[in-house]
Every structure is written in structure tokens, then in C-alpha cells.
Amino acid sequence: MIRRTLPVVFTLLFSTPLLAAQQTLFSFVRPTSVVTVTTEDTGMPQYNAEQTAEGEVLRRVVFNPVERPTLRLSPQAGTWDWSTGQFLTLRLQSAMDWALTVDVTLLGSDGRTLTSRIDLPAGPAQTVMVPLKASSPLSQGMRAGPPMPWTYEGQRVLLTSSTGEVDLKQVVSISLSIPRPKVAQNLLIEKVGIQDDDQAYRAAYGDLIDAYGQSTRGRWPEKIVNDEQLKAADARERQQLKAWLAEREKQKLDTYGGLVAGPTFEATGFFRTEKRDGRWFLVTPQGHPFYSLGVNAVAADGGRTYVAGRESMFKGLPGEGDPLAAFYGQGNNDDGNASSQGRGFKQGRWYDFYAANLQRTYAKPCAPAPEGQPPVDCPAAGVDAERWQVHSLDRLQAWGFNTLGNWSDPALSQARRMPYTLPLSIVGDYASISTGMDWWGRMPDPFDPRFAMATERAVAIAARDHRDDPWLIGYFADNELAWAAPGDDPKARYGLAYGTLRLTTDVPAKRAFLKQLRDKYRNQEGLSKAWGIELKAWELMEDPGFEAPLPNPEHPEIERDYQYFQQVFAQTYFKTISDALKWHAPNHLLLGGRYAVSTPEAVKACAEFCDVLSFNFYTLKPEDGYDFARLAELDKPVLVSEFQFGSRDRGPFWPGPLEVAREEDRGPAYGNFLKAALAQPMIVGAHWFQYLDQPASGRLLDGENGHLGLVGITDVAYPGFVEAVRRSNQQALEQLRRGLEVKAP
């Protein structure tokens, strides 16, 4: 490691910055204070600063290709007192033709740190603002913040997030590092400073959302600026849908969307599964093969976002007496789950931008009124639900979809135009276990008799109005449960076993696990030998907080015991649901657990008790999300219950779990995913997440604000994307049809 220390004489000076209340702590261009500069695998090859193409003067720092090249600043004596500061500011520029990732670490005298990761784009210099207290867009109520950098008071500003905590009265050092550069990376830096106010921060989140719920910080082809545009877009689309629906009428489909081609299957009056010639199929009630092309969350309530406490974020919220004020409501999503932790603005008054835009589009104009008088004969504010439902179903069928995915408006299924799926949400006062993930909550304890009662109740309610409905494909067993924690380490892989052993014995799962171990080892001596631990008394395992040993090659029984427990746990869970469904809804399929994180034990148990395995794959193709060779051994049909591709160029600030560079790339990504799904003979369908873009300011549930939709918050469809999706859906069914016709006798 190369380490150089450069002490420089320096008096703290105030610059003349464009950002008010900013103090310059150290200038790399005119160093005139007592600061120690330490370089570790970095260097400043030029003695003088250099002038950029924009006329700014900065100093070049080279970060060498090692594990963590670092540039560190520290006071020559004592510590810095930044207790009045709110942001660390750095004037930086990438000296490369590409973006740089720069990690900033503040170290306090007690060893605690505050860290921030800067995604520094290529281009001119900018002022990077690092919050001196942990902060992120989530603290403003949203998953991702507005696009950065942005121009504030004539200066390019890049606001970052920060995590951790540091004693601001005793700051020991500032470190800048570039993690694992493959080649030498050049960074230009002018100065480091402290910002004493949050005006720029508040401005970054002020007036961020316009009256239509769109971002004010960008332009894109589908962006709406007035009500007339909404109505014109709606009229144009309806003409297009008529033509596409007319084409659909010419396709050889049965009542439910099944392919009337090739071999027929037994018609049972309900959806079922069958494997034929090495390929799994869903079969319609009329006995035809059905490839489920679905869309999740086709509902009119997805445009709600909290406004209470952050009204300054929104431009044009309706005031009292405005007809559009009918779309305010009250809510509380502070549920204690990991999905709500660290999030601000998660309860109180919300506004539904999507519903308001539907009203703008659908409503008839008010009758003229005398000058200075309010309009008369205005229709009452409220979404024309029937019109929205018909329009949405027209869209889905015109775009080549044939299934209503999870969380869709129940009224859509009653139209009997498209098959649908339903979720089972099992809520009760049963015991639960933390696996270290817990995003949507802890794992239900299936050994608890109260879980069986809650399951019986949930299934009975869900099946009450659907028991004999042939349009219902089946039910999902909850969604994205925390079967494990993210990551590959043993405590993540066996989070369920670890989490259970840490509990008290009043939790049924803990008693079941201890019984398993007692039956196998008889006493603590047998367990101690098998696990390589010294357990002086069996009762010590019963204590809360018991720390189980990590699996290791010298003691393979540890891992075998964890695997066996997690297998029995999963079998008990799925068998409980399966038994209830067979009683209350014997004609419908159990569609699996919609896995995001899973374990082999959970997937195997699901295959044992469910009709279909379901996975939420946020990957370029299905096989990137799971080992399909292992799935093939289970010999069960697979449904992709969620997949998605998003970008940052259509308003919402988050691209979703899987990002593509531009809107124009979403269509090809969709087509490639669907082709890959069709190539897997066990996959029987794929469901897109989701119908509607999430609000740019964050949805009610957890602040997600992704560009995920087929349509925007204004209910205007993304024409290039939906046309590409329609073409891919048609090609998928045509490919399946040709395959069936070839195999037909």
C-alpha cells in the first residue's frame, strides 16, 4: 500500500459560494489551512490545478486499481466540530468519460461512521451534498429521489443519501475512495466544505409533483400539460383499441382465451394443469391449452400518495370546494414491518392522482356560468367505475393479455371477459418468526393451531363468492414471504432455523424444532457431539436468544438438522393451506407462494402440496432467477407471477427492481423474457408487474415510486411499449399454437 501524508498550512476561510451558508473546509486549488492529506494508493500527479472545459479550476486525483484506493483528510490536531453543519459539500467532477462511484466516509473519535455513496455522472463539475445525519429519499416518503444532479441557484447540485451516525462535535477524518477500480480512475476535486442550512435540500423536494401527479423535473412524449390533452389521448386510444380488438376476434380462441388448435384436453369445467409430451399446460374449462399472459394490480386505486406534512412537494393540489378535492382520503401504513422502517410520511391525508385524472378524462364539461359565478350543473366528482372497467379490459385484451393477475379490481373478474387469480392473505394472532428479512412481516408459524384457524377463515372468505366460478384459475398462497434472508451466508440461508431457535418455548415452532432434536439426539451430550458445541444442559436451548452454531464441514449434522426442520416447517405451512382449499374451493388451483426469496426446502414442499409453483422473477430471463434444472426434478408447472422492466425517463424516479436504459428498451426486454419463458417447458405463463405506474412521490404501502406501468399516472398508455408488448404476446401464442399443431395427430 502506498501511503503519503501531505501537511499543508491553512486558515479556515469562507468562500463566496453560490450555495448560501457554505464554509470551505479545505481547497485543493488554494490550500491555505492546517489539514493533513493522506493518500493510500492514490496520487496527485500534477503539482498545479487544471482548468476544465467549462472554465473551472480543479485538482486531479488518481485512484489506482487496487481494492480500495483512498484519499483522506484529517485535522493536524484534535477533531473538527461540525455540530452546526447539516451537509458535507464536495465540488467534484469525473475526469473520465464515464460515471464514477465514490464512497465518502466520515469517522468520529468514538469509531462510529457516517457513509455515503456518490454516483458521480460524467460531465461538468457539480456540488455534491452529503447529509451529516442519516437521510435518504425514503425519509421523504419515497423509494428513490428526484433525478440528480439538478440546477440550484445556477449550480449543478447532486444530493446523496447517507447512513450510519457520527458525533459531529468530534469528526476525525473524511475519506474518499473508489471501490475496486479495474483501471486507474481520475477524479477532479476543488474543495470540501460544510453547509449550515438545508435550503438546497428543501428545494430539491419542493414543487416536485405537478397537478396531474407527474414529476416537474423532466419532459417526455406522454407528459400531460392540460385536460384537453387527456381527452384527446383517450379518444385516439379508443380508436386504436377498436382496431386491435377486431383483430383479436379473428384469433382461434375459446371462451376463456384457450388455443383452439392441436390436441384437445379433457374439459372439466374448471382450470387445471396437465403435462403432455414433456410440456406442462394450463387447461381451460373447455379443454384447450392456455398460456397465462397476465397483468398484476389492474386497479383504479394505485395512484394514491401521502401529502400530509409534505404539501410543499406538490404543485396544484385541489383546495376546499374544488370538485377534485373529492379524491383526498386518510390512511396509515406505519405497520411496523421492515417495508415501513426509515420511511417518512407514511400516514395521514393522501391524494389519489390517478382517480383525479380519470375524472378529468371522463367528466362531462360543466354548464357555462355567468361571469364571476361558480360553474353550474357540474357532474359530481368520482370515477366512472363501469367505464374504467370496460376500458381497462379492452386494453388488456387488445394488448394480447388473457389473465387478470394478483391484486386486480374484483369487479373486473365479474365481467366474465378474462380469467383471473386471487390472493390468500392469512391474517391472525398466530405466532411468527423473524428470518432477518421480514419485509412484509415475519414468517407465520404453521405449527401454531391459530394459524390453521386463520387459514381456514381466510380461505373460506376468499372462496365464498368464487367456489363455482369457472373463470377463476386459482389462489396464491400469500406473497413474498420471508422464507430466508437475502444473501448467501448460512444465517441468511437458514434464517428460519436460526430465527426459530432464538425464540422462547411458548412459540410452537420452537417446541417443534426442539422435539425434532430431542427425538434424534436424546440428550445434550448427543447434540453436543453432533454439533461440535458444549451444551451443558438441554434447557439452555430453550432460553430466548440461543445462538445456534453455523454449519461446517466437520459437523455436517448441523446443516442436515436445519434443512430437515425447514422442510417440515414448509410442508406444514403448505399442507394447511392445501387442506383448507380442498374443502372450500375444490375446483380451483393452488398457485404456489409467489417466491421472491426462497429455500430449496420451501420450493420442494410447495411442489408437494400446490398445483403450480410461482416465482416473482426480476431478472432478464426466468432462468436467471432460479435453477431450472433443479425445478425440472420437481416436475411441476411454473408460473412467473411477477416480472418487470423499468426506466427513469418517464417521470417516476425509481425504475423498479430491474432497470433498462430507456423507455424504448422496455419492449425488447419484455419480448426477450417471454421468449425465454416459452422455451422452458414447465412455465405455463408470465404476469407483468404492474398495470399502472406508481406515484412519483411514493405509493401508500411502502413508498415505491417506480416506472413499472403499461400506463402512466395520467391513465395515458405508453404507446411504444404497449405495441411491443402486444406484438410479443401475439408471437408467444402463435409459437405455442404452431408447436401444438405439429404435435397434433
Gyration radius of the chain's alpha carbons: 29
Residues 69, 38 contacting (CB under 8 angstroms): no
pLDDT, averaged across the chain? 92
In the CATH hierarchy, which top-level class contains the domain 3-204?
Answer: mainly beta
Residues 675, 730 contacting (CB under 8 angstroms): no
Determine how many CB atoms are found less than 10 A away from the CB of residue 91.
Answer: 24
Q: What is the pLDDT of residue 274?
A: 98
Query: Where does the pLDDT of residue 261 fall: very low under 50, low under 70, confident under 90, or very high at 90 and above?
Result: confident
Return the SS3 of 215.
strand
Residue span(s) of the chain under CATH 2.60.120.430 come to 3-204
Q: What is the pLDDT of residue 32?
A: 61
Scan for cell 430449496, then name that residue. Answer: 600
Scan for cell 422464507, then name that residue. Answer: 483
Tell me what the mean pLDDT of segment 612-634 comes to.
96
Residues 33, 67 contacting (CB under 8 angstroms): no
The backbone torsions φ and ψ at residue 185, rounded to the nearest 5 degrees and listed phi first, read -115, 135
Distance CA 234, CA 246 (A): 18
What confidence tens digit (pLDDT) does each residue in 132-158 have?
Answer: 999 999 999 999 999 999 999 888 999
Q: What is the pLDDT of residue 17?
A: 42
Tell me what the mean pLDDT of segment 345-357 comes to.
97
What percentage of residues in the chain have a pLDDT greater than 90? 84
Q: How far is CA 421 from the centre of its chain?
A: 22
Q: What is the pLDDT of residue 371?
A: 60
Which stretch of 24-33, 189-198, 373-382 has the lowest confidence by average pLDDT?
Answer: 373-382
Give the ranges where 209-323 is alpha helix by DSSP (H): 227-249
Distance CA 228, CA 232 (A): 6
Q: What 8-state DSSP symbol labels residue 135? A: B
Tell me what the mean pLDDT of segment 592-596 comes to.
96
Tell me what the mean pLDDT of segment 695-710 comes to.
97
C-alpha distances out from residue 696 to 42, 205, 266, 682, 700, Å? 40, 12, 48, 37, 11
Q: What is the pLDDT of residue 513?
A: 97
pTM of the model: 0.92
Q: What is the pLDDT of residue 739?
A: 86
Tell me what the mean pLDDT of segment 347-351 comes to.
97
Tell me what the mean pLDDT of segment 680-708 comes to.
98
Q: What is the pLDDT of residue 25?
A: 82
Beta bridge partners of 290: 282
* Higher pLDDT pick, 338 / 298: 298
Residue 723 has pLDDT above 60, yes or no: yes
What percentage of residues in the chain have a pLDDT greater than 70? 93
Tell me what the mean pLDDT of segment 601-630 comes to.
97
Q: Return the closest-CA partner of residue 203 out of 235, 157, 171.
A: 157
Give the ranges where 464-536 is alpha helix by DSSP (H): 490-493, 495-501, 508-521, 524-531
The HSE-up count of residue 208 (CA atoms within 13 Å, CB side) is: 28
What confidence tens digit (pLDDT) does each residue in 8-32 have?
Answer: 333 333 333 445 566 778 888 876 6
Q: What is the pLDDT of residue 235?
A: 96
C-alpha distances out from residue 316 to 94, 322, 346, 374, 491, Å? 38, 11, 21, 19, 49
Q: What is the pLDDT of residue 49?
A: 84
Helix, strand, coil in percent for the chain, rounding step 5: 30, 25, 45
Residue 376 has pLDDT above 50, yes or no: no
Q: What is the pLDDT of residue 377?
A: 47
Residues 321, 431 contacting (CB under 8 angstroms): no
DSSP string, 577-624: HHHHHHHH-TTSEE----BSS--HHHHHHHHHH-SSEEEE--SSSGGG
In terms of DSSP bridges, do strands 420-424 and 171-177 run parallel, antiparallel, or are they unpaired? unpaired
Which stretch of 14-18, 129-133, 332-336, 563-567 has the lowest confidence by average pLDDT?
Answer: 14-18
H or E element that contains 419: none
Q: What is the pLDDT of residue 373?
A: 57
Q: What is the pLDDT of residue 9?
A: 34
* Higher pLDDT pick, 79 / 373: 79
The backbone torsions φ and ψ at residue 178, rounded to the nearest 5 degrees and listed phi first, read -115, 115
Residues 611, 637 contacting (CB under 8 angstroms): yes
Tell me what the mean pLDDT of segment 383-402 comes to.
95
Q: For residue 359, is it left (φ>0), alpha (ψ between -120 and 50) or beta?
A: alpha
